[in-house]
């Protein structure tokens, strides 16, 4: 065989199919890298969910203050939840990774303030944090180990002072009623990202501001616009209860 034969240019009729072959290869490569990313990390973004303790306590089932005492009148963390862009979410991803307080001993003081339990009977928070880690935290463990997970949530809480943003916009926890849109727009104006507001019902059937969802990128560091919103509570106006 002559060298010329080995290196002969591709015949003209092959040019097009060669081109589409390269395109298919590129597409496959892109798909593969996408799959690696989603398998590697197993979720697309986080919901960072804060709750208003006044609403949590003002329900039929009521609440119990933690053993450390009544939490300050501020939004508190409910959780940092890995989520998929389609709205579904993974849960309880690793039974071999139990909550371990000794891994986060340096964070516990801050968690008592920013992530307090309000469940009854009164307790120190271990049950709530165990639930949040085992149900949600284990599903982002490839990116955030237990310490980084709780720290990431505390850091985001520290970055955005929702109560101040709302109070600056004249929205105060004084039992007044506010439109969901008013609350949502005040937060968007104050922090630059659109929240989702959920509500609950008090014993006299008033709708009240329950939780505020923000979205965080898969690294757990930066706020993003939500790829998907949970069902928000649009009307009627929501009470912002005293705590």
User: Which residues contribute to the site for ligand AMP (CB under 6 A)?
Assistant: 51, 56, 78-79, 117-119, 128, 131-132, 135-136
- Residue 131 falls in the annotated catalytic set: no
Q: Residue 136 Cβ, how far from ligand AMP at the closest point, in Å?
A: 6
What's the burial of 81, exposed, middle or buried (CB within 10 Å: 0-12/13-18/19+)? buried
Q: Residue 133 Cβ, how far from ligand AMP at the closest point, in Å?
A: 10
Catalytic residue among 134, 136, 141, 151: 136
**Cβ nearer to ligand AMP, comparing 125 with 186:** 125
Catalytic residue among 78, 134, 141, 180: 78
CA distances from 211 to 77, 78, 174, 179, 208 (A): 9, 8, 17, 14, 9
Q: Residue 212 Cβ, how far from ligand AMP at the closest point, in Å?
A: 13
- Residue 136 falls in the annotated catalytic set: yes
Q: Residue 209 Cβ, how far from ligand AMP at the closest point, in Å?
A: 15
- CA dist 82 and 41 (Å) reads 10
**Cβ nearer to ligand AMP, comparing 73 with 189:** 73
Q: Are strands 177-178 and 196-201 parallel, antiparallel or unpaired?
A: unpaired
Asked whether 46 and 82 are in contact (CB, 8 A), the reply is yes
Q: Token digits for 242?
A: 């005293």
Local structure of 136: helix, strand or coil: coil
- Residue 78 falls in the annotated catalytic set: yes
**Cβ nearer to ligand AMP, comparing 8 with 231:** 231
Asked whether 214 and 197 are in contact (CB, 8 A), the reply is no
**Cβ nearer to ligand AMP, comparing 54 with 195:** 54
Q: Residue 117 Cβ, how far from ligand AMP at the closest point, in Å?
A: 4
Asked whether 197 and 120 are in contact (CB, 8 A), the reply is no
- CA dist 150 and 176 (Å) reads 33
- CA dist 114 and 102 (Å) reads 19
**Cβ nearer to ligand AMP, comparing 182 with 201:** 201
Catalytic residue among 112, 131, 132, 147: 132
The closest alpha carbon to 207, from 172, 234, 168, belongs to 234
- Give catalytic residues, as residue numbers: 78, 132, 136
């Amino acid at each position: 065989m002559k060298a010329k034969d080995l290196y002969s240019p591709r015949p003209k009729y092959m040019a097009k199919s060669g081109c589409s072959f390269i395109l298919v290869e590129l597409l496959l490569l892109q798909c593969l890298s996408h799959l690696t990313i989603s398998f590697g990390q197993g979720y697309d973004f986080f919901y960072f969910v804060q709750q208003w303790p006044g609403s949590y306590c003002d329900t039929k089932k009521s609440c119990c203050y933690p053993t450390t005492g009544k939490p300050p009148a501020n939004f508190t963390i409910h959780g940092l939840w890995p989520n998929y862009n389609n709205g579904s979410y993974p849960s309880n991803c690793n039974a071999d990774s139990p909550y371990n307080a000794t891994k986060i001993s340096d964070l516990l003081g801050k968690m008592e303030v920013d992530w307090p339990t309000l469940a009854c009977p009164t307790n120190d928070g271990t049950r709530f944090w165990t639930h949040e880690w085992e149900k949600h935290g284990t599903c982002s463990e490839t990116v955030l180990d237990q310490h980084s997970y709780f720290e990431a949530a505390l850091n985001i809480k520290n970055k955005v002072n929702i109560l101040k943003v709302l109070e600056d916009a004249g929205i105060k926890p004084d039992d007044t009623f506010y439109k969901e849109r008013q609350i949502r727009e005040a937060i968007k104006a104050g922090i630059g990202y659109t929240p989702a507001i959920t509500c609950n019902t008090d014993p006299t059937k008033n709708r009240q501001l329950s939780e505020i969802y923000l979205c965080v990128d898969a690294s757990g560091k930066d706020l993003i616009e939500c790829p998907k919103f949970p069902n928000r509570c649009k009307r009627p106006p929501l009470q912002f209860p005293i705590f």
